[in-house]
Every structure is written in structure tokens, then in C-alpha cells.
Amino acid sequence: MLAPRIRMLSEATINRIAAGEVIERPAAAVKELVENALDAGARRIAVVLAGGGIERIEVADDGAGMTAEDLALAVQRHATSKLSDDSLERIATLGFRGEALPSIGAAARLSITARPREAANAWAIRVEGGAVSPVAPAAGAPGARVVVEDLFFATPARRKFLKNPRTEGEHAEIAVRRLALAAPQVAFRLEIDGRPAFDLPAQTREARVAALLGPDAAAALIVVEAARDGMALSGYVAAPTVTRATAAGQALTVNGRPVADPVLRTALRVGFRDVIAAGRHPVAALYLDLPAEEVDVNVHPAKTELRFRDPAAVRGLVIGAIGRAIGGGAGTVVPAGRPALHLIHSRPPGPAAARMPGPMLGFAEARLPLSGAPAARLVPAPETAPVPAADHPLGAPVAQVLDTYVIAVAGDGSLVLVDQHAAHERLTHEALRAQMQHGGVRSQPLLLPSVVELAPAEAARLLARATELSRLGLEIEAFGGAAVLVRALPAALGPADPAPLLRDLADELTEQDEATALDARLDAVLARMACHGSIRAGRKLAPAEMDALLRQMEATPRAATCSHGRPTVLKLSRADIERLFGRR
């Protein structure tokens, strides 16, 4: 049998293969067309989709437009106005490969009408399945109008793999939102199947972020700013209790280009690791600017992936900036649920808060075992309740309800609610973390060592990490069989029962793999310890203890959420309360 002969593919086939790399779905076509409009200097961009973009995509802009000669070249492969020479070292535009329009024209029915601002008339060109029609005069406003119909009609196999129109429309909307977030100085309008998705004027970055990240995130925006070694990071993150089930609420922009870069996504996840629940994703709009030669955007035809010259420096800049932004005390109260609660800004925690030693002040009895269910009763503060101080964002405690929640009144009259267990868990966690960073967690030897019976696998996991656990103030040793002898516990935990603590730590170590960084493993263990050493729901607090809890929350980093990402404190303004009672 003769081997098949090698032959050259036809130009039409080559273009259709290339189209599959650049235009994966309608959202990719929309992204490329909007990027072209931005590169053309548009101040207003309108996008209209039908059938999720499968049936029709229309992008109109008021940019520079094109002459007849430019229009003829624009639909040819690798023809571009974006590069002044053959160097790819300093790319300053969103597009530069010259593949988008010919790729779309090879897979769909494409028509372009363009007119330079100074021209008397517009020009139009059509491309259907790769077949190019001559340029002809046309009527049109200054700028460009691009219409794409019957996407992938020329490549039916690709069309079969598209999702339903609603899903494709959602992906296209996400693409336009990210571009609108990257260019707030440009007015954007998006319409999908006759429904306006958004219509935004040219506005400030903060206003654009608030408009597009959702009302819950808009009410909880925290400024992020950092600069180092020629790199500058700015933008906003939502407070830690505003999270999403996916990373769709993250808009990352590098040198004006929306990207889906793994280095930045990982840094964002690590920055929020200590303050949000596992499986949840933070909401953010971050803008990184750095010298063009420090980043390579010519990695993939979609141009959403990057390669940084120094990814470790970028990662460190982002993680550090996020840590500083969300590391304030619990005076930064997080919105959660309905009604929309308000963000309070307080002074940043001082150096004393970062060095909190030992057990939390005012809770010497906080870790005594409890019995029975919490009583549904109100514990009042003294008859002469303290007046909220101006520098105490969480206000003065008024009462405790259900032996679980502390009620306080802020200086502006707002109602403050605190979950005592969640709050004290964070305080304990931060105290343990501060000790760990300053040489190791202080331990308290047990008067009588405790023997804990575990499953063989649990005992083996704990004993294998005995050296690491000793740095955390937990001293254990084998005691025959599956028993473990506990000689000391972290002093900050007080008289905690070691048996449930050890079982939870064994489970924690099961969930971690050897690839997990040591500091991440140790911090997860600290979080487990903090949970066991915190005030339980159902314990009555004295007025002085309630006040001490609020003051320490104001001075403790990340105290607006517990170690599992749940809110520790909520605030209802007068407007919120009136809305609940139907007064608004």
C-alpha cells in the first residue's frame, strides 16, 4: 500500500483552520471586534447580539474608521495597522496579529462599513465563507460598523459544538463587561436579543466597577494600590463576605488588556485564602501596569494569556496589596444579604494589634465547656450604657441575644450585630498567627498529660507531623497502638478538650497534599485550633466581655470575617432598618 502523498491545503481550508484558533465561539468574535474599536480610538461602542451571537453580531463605534484601501487589506490575513515594525517587544494595542477579521470572514458572513472622520462617504466590503467581495461606496457615519451573521455556517462541525443561544450570549456578555471594565473612559452599550444588558456612559474607573460588578460588590468596594520595581497595581476588591461560586466576578487587566492569566488568578486566590470559605471566589477588578518589555502577550491567538518575565514579582505584588487592603480591623463591616448593608472604614490596626499575645483579653473563662441549648433571652448591659466613642466603629455594646449575638450601637446610631463565636475565632487565629511569625506559638503544658484514642490512620498522620505541630504549641507523642499522648496545648486556646481538636487536625492534614506550601498547611491548622479555642455560641457574656470583644475586633486584622470566610459583624443603618419595616 502506497503512503498518502503530502499536498498543500487550499487557502480557504487554511483560513478555516486558523479561524478555529481565533474564533472559538461568538464571545471570541465579539471580543476581537470590540478590541478593534478600542484600538481605533472609539469613545462610544454599541454591541447588539441576536441568538446569543450565533445568528448575528453587530459592533458599531465612532473611532477612526478606514479608507477603501485599508478596508481591502483589513480582511486579509496578517494585515494590521497595530504594528509599526516587525518587533513584538513593545505591543501597545489590544490587537496586533491581523487574524480576527479574516478568521471571522472565513467562518461566517461578514460585512464592514467604515468611514474616516474627514471622508465624504463610507466604504463597505463583504466576506462570506472566505470569499471576498470588492470594496464599494456606502452610506455610514464616521467610525465603523461590523456585522457578523450565521457564525460558523462555513464550518458546520464547529457550529455543532456551540451551546444554546442563552449560554453563548452570557459568555459574550462577560467578554464585553471585561472590556468595559478595562476602558471606563469609553461609553458602552450591550443589547442581547432585544434586551439591554447595560448602557454606560464614559465614567470614572470606580463608577464603572461599581456598575458592572453587581450591587453587593458595589456596596463593599475596597481600594487596592501598590507599586514596586516599575510595576503599579490599582483597582478594587469586594469585601471578603461578597464572594461568587465561580471566578466570573474577577476582571483582571494588564496594560489595558483584559486577561485570564493564571499567575494573577492564583495571586488573587492566595490573597483571599485566609478570609473566604473554601470553594468560593473573590470579586475583584484589578489593573496592573508594567513596562511592555516585561510581559509577552504573543502567547495564544486569543491574546488572553500572558507570560511575565518575572512572575514571582507580579505574584508577590498582588498578594501583598490584597493583604494590606483587606487586613483592616472589623471596623470595616461587610455587607451581607438583604438589606444591603454598608461598608464602614476605620483606622488600620496598629502594631500592637499585630503582636496580640496570649489569650484574648476579657475572656479568661471563654473556653469552659457548655451544656444545653442556647437560651432565647436578652442579657442587658448596665443601666447606664457607655456612649459610643467616635473612634470605635463597632460602637458600644447594648445587649446579648440568644447567648450568641452581641448587639451594639455605633456612634452614628446604626445597629451593629456581632457573632461572638465567629469573631473570637478570628481573634484567636490572628493571635496564633502573630505568635507563629515571631518564633512559634507559645504552649501551655498540661498538668496531667491527656491520652487520646484515635483511628490508626489519624494517629499516624498526626505523629508524622509532630515536629510541625510542636511549632504550633501542640506537643504530642506516641502512646502505644493508636493512642496519642498530649503534653501541651497552645496557651491561647485555654483549657480546650484535646480529643476533638486532634481529630479535626487529623482531618485537616488528610485534605492537604505534600505539594501544599508549608506556611499554608500550618495556617490551616492554626485556623482549626482557633475554632476549638473560641467562645462558643450559647455562652453568656458579661458587659465588659462584650466591650472587650468589640474593641479587639476593631484592632485585629481581617476581623470582619471568621477563619472560614463567614461574616463576624453586620451593620444596619437607619435606612436599612426603615426598609425592613416598610417605611421606604
Angstrom distance (rounded) from CA 489 to CA 474:
5
Q: For helices 311-326 and 262-272, what crossing angle results, to 10°?
A: 30
Domain borders along the chain are 11-82+91-200, 205-326, 341-584
Match 477579521 to its residue by C-alpha cell.
101
Measuring CA to CA, which residue among 348, 305, 338, 52 is closest to residue 172? 52
Report for 251-260, 516-525, 567-576: range of highest mean pLDDT:
251-260
Closest by CA to 536, choosing from 362, 431, 403, is 403
Residue matched to cell numbers 486577561: 259
User: Residue 85: left if φ>0, alpha if ψ -120 to 50, beta else—which one?
Assistant: beta
Instruction: Between 513 and 393, name the one with better pLDDT.
Output: 393
Is the CATH code 3.40.50.1980 the one for domain 205-326? no
CA distances from 396 to 258, 390, 427, 544, 568 (A): 45, 10, 19, 11, 16
Q: Are 537 and 374 in contact (CB under 8 A)?
A: yes
Per-residue pLDDT tens digits for 80-123: 654 455 544 555 667 555 678 988 998 899 999 999 999 999 99
pLDDT in tens, 122-163: 999 999 988 999 999 999 999 999 999 999 998 888 888 888
Report whether pLDDT(426) > 60: yes
339, pLDDT greater than 50: no
CATH 3.20.20.70 fits 341-584, yes or no: no
Q: Is 194 exposed, middle or buried (0-12, 13-18, 19+ CB in 10 A)?
A: exposed
Structure confidence by residue, pLDDT tens digits, 28-58? 999 999 999 999 999 999 999 999 999 999 9
Residues paired with 113 in a beta bridge: 124, 145
Average pLDDT, stretch 294-321?
Answer: 83
Which of 490, 495, 564, 560 has the alpha carbon at shortest distance from 524? Answer: 564
Q: If residue 303 lies in a helix (H) or strand (E), which one and from where to where?
A: none
> 100-107 and 11-22 helices cross at what angle (nearest 10)?
110
Distances (CA, A) of 312 to 94, 263, 315, 316, 562: 25, 9, 5, 6, 29
Whether 350 shows a pLDDT value over 50: the answer reads no
The yes-or-no verdict on residue 342 having pLDDT over 90 is: no
What pLDDT score was predicted for residue 505? 79
361 neighbors 345 (Cβ within 8 angstroms): no
Domain 11-82+91-200 shares a fold with domain 341-584:
no
What's residue 119's pLDDT? 93
Q: What is residue 1's predicted lDDT score, i.e. its pLDDT?
A: 58
Which of 386, 435, 413 has its CA nearest to residue 550?
A: 386
Is the pLDDT confidence value at 381 over 60?
A: no
Taken as a whole, the chain contains a residue count of 584
Whether the per-residue pLDDT at 338 is higher than 90: the answer is: no
Output the CA torsion sign for 430, 431, 432, 437: positive
Alpha helices, H only, 287-357 = 311-326, 351-354
Q: What is the pLDDT of residue 17?
A: 54
Which H or E run includes 46? strand 44-50
Q: Which long-range contacts (CB under 8 A, 24 or more apart) does 528-531 make?
A: 528/501, 528/504, 529/428, 529/429, 529/432, 529/472, 529/474, 529/490, 529/493, 529/501, 529/505, 530/425, 530/426, 530/428, 530/429, 530/432, 530/563, 531/425, 531/504, 531/563, 531/564
d(CA 522, CA 185): 45
Q: Which fold has domain 11-82+91-200?
A: Heat Shock Protein 90 (3.30.565)
Q: How confident is the model at residue 358 (pLDDT cuts 50, 70, 90)?
A: very low
pLDDT at 2 over 80: no
Q: Per-residue pLDDT for 307 more than 70?
A: yes
Query: What is the pLDDT, as a whole number, of residue 534?
Result: 62
Contact (Cβ atoms closer than 8 angstroms) between residue 242 and residue 209: no
Q: What is the mean pLDDT of residues 522-533?
A: 69
